[in-house]
Amino acid sequence: MGMSEQPELSPEGWVRDQTEKILEQGTTDGVLIMDRPVVLFTTTGAKSGKKRYVPLMRVEENGKYAMVASKGGDPSHPSWYHNVKAHPQVTAQDGATVYELTAREVEGAEREHWWDLAVAAYPPYAEYQTKTDRLIPVFVLE
The pLDDT profile of the chain, 142 residues, written as one tens digit per residue, is 444 478 988 888 888 999 999 999 999 999 888 889 999 999 999 999 999 999 999 999 999 999 999 999 999 999 999 999 999 999 999 999 999 999 999 999 999 999 999 999 999 999 999 999 999 999 999 9
**CA nearest to 68, candidates 55, 50, 52:** 55
Looking at residue 3, its pLDDT comes to 43
Cβ count near 60 (within 10 Å): 15
Looking at residue 2, its pLDDT comes to 41
Residue 81, Cβ density class (10 Å: 0-12 exposed, 13-18 middle, ≥19 buried): buried
> What's the CATH number for 3-141?
2.30.110.10
Domain ranges of the chain: 3-141
Q: At 123, give phi and psi (nearest 5°).
A: -55, -30
pTM, two decimal places? 0.92
Residues 108, 122, 117, 93, CA torsion sign: positive
Contacts for 104 with CB less than 8 Å, ≥ 6 apart: 88, 139, 140
